[in-house]
A and B are shown apart, each in its own frame.
Chain A
Amino acid sequence: MLDALQYQFMQNALLAGLLAAVACGIVGVYVVVKKIVFISGGIAHASFGGIGLGYLLGINPVLGAMVFTIASSLGIGLVTRRTRLPEDTAIGILWAMGMALGIIFIGLSPGYAPDLFSYLFGNILTVPFFDLMLMLLLDVVIIVLVVFLYKEFLYLSFDEEFSTVSGVPTESLYLLLLCLVALTVVVLIRVVGIILVIALLTIPAALARQFTYSLKKMMLLAISAGAVFTFSGLWISYVLNLASGATIILVSGTALFFSFGVNKLRRRTRGDNRTVTTA
């Protein structure tokens, strides 16, 4: 592994893993505590429509996915808030419609879509330089927004009704949160692929949640966990010659199950001693 680090593609892969861990660590915490896992899954799958659009227009599919996922998050957010369509029904429809559009777009595109599989299941070893820079930019956007709107997102997640009464612009913030999910999906596409995104959005945050009652610490812990998962998944996939995206997810899931056991033992011996910090 160490001699592999001298290769440019390996350095890029590690950087991509780190950037993915930052995005999914921060946004994943909101996805888990606000219980918007299903809507995030819908947004992730709908992004396939954007990949197809990218192929059709001859632009970078990741850029296509970015525009498409932002549009679909705003759409799904407004539909679930403003209409009487039940939320899970709306999500199910968006989920399949996005993927169907992607298939049609790709069918209409001239020629053959060679790296389609890597968008679906990720390939951390082939992330192009431009996409790395895009991931870096999106990470910066996510960090800046969450730093400046930390208390607003906390209030939105904890008690939306009271927040609205106190003057928090909850509907706009909810739509913005879905856009952050969309951006995170874009960051993660190259690493684990559309279909597996939801695992990286939830597993590191779910793992972190067992060990702290502070949202900030939960984010830091989730980022660290995400980085460990992507690096170790990458290493295992390299050594055993397995698909990198799927290996990362299996490593994460296995680690989560072990953490449940560890946490159970820890609580049995020492009680619930999760830390809480005061703002």
Chain B
Amino acid sequence: MTTKEMVRLENVWVYNDGIPVLEGINLSIESNDFLGIIGPNGGGKTTLLKVILGLIKPDRGKVTVLGMPPERGRKHIGYISQFNLFDHDFPISVFEVVLMGRYNKSGLFRRYHEEDRKAAINALKTVDMLGYQDRQVGKLSGGEQQRLFIARALVTNPRLLLLDEPTASIDPNMQAEFYELLDRLKENMAIVLVSHDISAVSIYVSEIACLNHQLFYHGSKEVSAEELEKAYNCPIQLIAHGTVPHRVLREH
């Protein structure tokens, strides 16, 4: 299978109030990647995703999505934000939320067609949420909401899936199920998963990177002695549990 470059970041800098959040990020994401990005809270993980989505303009550097500026390329990205931030009493049904994902196919003033409704139903089927269409979003459990937002991202037929702290609000016993779903999805799309939950991430992803303002890309999960040495350049003590993450990584 030939791979295609989905996202390219070249020397990207983002400042917030004069303080650098992202410092000289270089990153290339290929179409068959399943990349896990770990790092401490405030290390710039969400900012990095928003830069790829074109929601934050870098102060310096270049970002392309499928060779296009992010504003044009992002319709090929399925995005799952750090959720639970929505108004749980909002008058919107599960089906309406999933249909949102079809907007990139329909556009301004256009109505949804049978095809869109079928795609929405299929996406709900994929995440095992059929039968919930008429439920109001606030009436779902944390895990169900999570699956709903995955369905919304999938219904866009994305070539790249970006997930921001996806396991933050689901039960531990649901997490395995969730990663198995991603495991199936990675056959068809590139996946980038951002998390501070190192142990869970390291089991499932194929590549791993540490982000703490600077990005340290380890390529495969097997971190060699030299790579480990290099990785120590990243302030590991700030990444959650001292040197633990790299020991965890080495075990796989």
Enumerate chain A interface residues (CB-CB to B < 8 A): 33, 35, 148-149, 151-152, 154-155, 157-159, 161-169, 209, 212-215, 218, 272, 274, 276-279
Contact = CB atoms under 8 A, between A and B. Distances in A.
A215 B103 contact: no
B136 interface: yes
Interface residues of B, number: 34
Contacts of A165: 53-55, 74-75, 77, 79
B93 A277 contact: yes
B134 A162 contact: no
21 contacts: A33-B87, A151-B112, A154-B92, A159-B100, A161-B55, A162-B81, A165-B54, A166-B104, A209-B89, A213-B91, A214-B91, A215-B91, A272-B139, A276-B93, A276-B134, A277-B93, A278-B93, A279-B93, A279-B95, A279-B99, A279-B112
B55 A158 contact: no
A91 B135 CA distance: 36
Count chain A CB atoms within 10 A of each CB in B93, B104, B112 and give the residue with the most: B93
A167 B75 contact: yes
Which 7 pairs across A and B sit closest by C-beta, in order of nearness?
A: A213-B136, A166-B103, A276-B93, A278-B95, A213-B91, A166-B104, A215-B91
Contacts of B77: 165
A28 B104 CA distance: 28
A157 B139 CA distance: 19
A148 B89 CA distance: 25
Interface string B147-184: 00000100010000000000000000000000000000
B126 interface: no
B96 A279 contact: yes
A218 B91 contact: yes
Contacts of A274: 136
Interface in B205-224: none
A167 B87 contact: no
Given A33-B91, A158-B86, A218-B91, A168 B109 contact: no
A142 B183 CA distance: 47
Contacts of B133: 278
Interface string B103-137: 11001110010000000000000000000011110
Count chain B CB atoms within 10 A of each CB in A164, A274, A279 and give the residue with the most: A279
A218 B97 CA distance: 18
A274 B139 CA distance: 11
A86 to B, nearest CB: 14
Contacts of B55: 161, 164-165
Nearest to A167: B104
Contacts of B135: 276
A131 B61 CA distance: 55
Contacts of A279: 93, 95-96, 99, 112
A268 B207 CA distance: 52
Contact of A209 (B86, B91, B109): B91
B90 A33 contact: yes
Contacts of A278: 93, 95-96, 133-134
Contacts of A151: 99, 103, 112
Nearest to B93: A276
Given A154-B92, A277-B93, A278-B93, A159 B136 contact: no
Interface in B200-248: none
A244 B170 CA distance: 53
B101 interface: yes
Contacts of B156: 166
A172 B73 CA distance: 20
Contacts of B134: 276-278
Given A213-B136, A215-B91, A163 B103 contact: yes
